[in-house]
Structure 1
């Protein structure tokens, strides 16, 4: 992959120096890995945008048969990783990676909405290509795991996605976006509805796709939600399996 992805500054990235996968959500991942028979053998997992590495440390602790590759472009987060002989850290964007092959798991924890470039349509294509690349590097029967914030439009499902991208990607509107609480102001962020992500997975070739609702969230006032044509915000897990043949 060689697409240009816009990166947050170090100061902006620090806001994400936390672990969003709580105990219940981790157990959900573990259950799904067992359901798809991933944990019945040695397996390789790639965590894209793995940050400080606390999530993959839990994977390594829980599954002694696992080895992980953590991909993270922000040096300050890479430096916070605890060394482990089964953890390979690559300080790079996913787009500039010399991709491996025959992995059993590729995971994106709240990362795909940060895959942004110039223009909304180009950004959507960048996200689509990332999912297609994940499909290619998975072994037959491998799975992709995606934790995401889903934004559902009140009338048109994709309208909040387009509006939030325009507000956050524009340098002109950056001060306004910051006042709204967007620390991605000036760079951009591109959320989608759950059904949109499922469409991208289907286009990439995944056939078995499951969605698990985790919780609803949202601190926007009714007026701001109305302005964004936003119906609902939720967090969920998408898991899709590559066909065995």
Structure 2
């Protein structure tokens, strides 16, 4: 599997080409029968180049909506979202979304699923080697000719990650990407995701309901309030990689995160 690396410095991460995402005064409403529903309220957040930021918050508070806005899948009602200073107005290959469901095409091999982005852009013939490299990064070189029904859940999610990495994204937008995996596979995939981030140098914005997962993966954890979501707290995870789940500092940060979520009385 991918070897464990030390955490890159800020200057090293910036040099790799990770995006700088600026979210300023973002509020968002949905039209619903009988009126409008506000889901975000005045969100201000910066994701620095090469940084891994996780979003925590109650179910339905607007975390995934914020990811959709950052990905350019829809515009914010008010406020601005920029990538390296330029407004985000539509989807772009430099920002890739990885969802909870890998959504692989069952009639295509692993290799062909990973190649989809390059094929859609008409550059596959010239850049076939990128597919092989992406599969190598996620440890699936030997499964290039396999089909999705032959893969475990964790392997299918690795294919989805390879499909994202083949586009050399500056930002990986992760919407509960490990949420459907069993607990043991999820723990293993968390370590693999850190290794991929360190190797590739992209910026990452993750939504998760798992406090420990957020603290294990991210440089910073942003805790959101109930809908309409506001930033309730920002936790800096001041620990090097690789992290150890029994670290007392992680226990302290977990308790602090749960306090902001109103759940500390159970710990």
Q: Normalising by structure 1, report the TM-score.
A: 0.30
Q: Normalising by structure 2, report the TM-score.
A: 0.28
Taking CA–CA contacts closer than 8 Å with sequence separation of 6 or more, which of the two structures ends up with the larger relative contact order? 2
